[in-house]
Amino acid sequence: MRSRMIYCLLAAIIICGIPGLVQARSTETGPKANCITATAQRHIDARHFDAAAKVVRHALTAAPSNPDLRMQMGVIQRSTGQYAEARKQFRFAMTNRDKDRHWVAKCYAEIGKCWELDGDSREAILQYQLALATVPDFHDAEVGIKRTVAMSQRTPNK
């Protein structure tokens, strides 16, 4: 466990600190990609969004079509109030893994959350419904609809 964590941190330092070392394909997976996304996720969990964005942006230069990186960039942008940009990242992430229904539902739910946070309850509910149409019992979408309906009853819609 400890050696994997050290490996991930070293990989992130090398990749972020020395741009010429990354020779990734556009949809890279495997240990290097997993370490990058794990490092970015630790920054996101710690609410260090600038550090997370730096890791993800650098990784995207080598793997611009990687849906996991696009998802993480969307989470970072949503967390910093950049809702329109986040929605673009989630849509991009969806198109690169469109055969995975659970992934598509997750992307729709993330887009719904952006609309919800941006104050557009109608569009948020529409996106959550698309998530449920993709995966009927998708929990995040069910919770998102309940939360959005409750919020819209308290405040007028845009």
pLDDT for res 154: 80
- pTM assigned to the model: 0.75
Average pLDDT for consecutive 10-residue bins of the chain (158 residues)? Answer: 49 43 40 69 86 91 90 95 97 90 96 96 96 95 94 71
d(CA 124, CA 47): 24
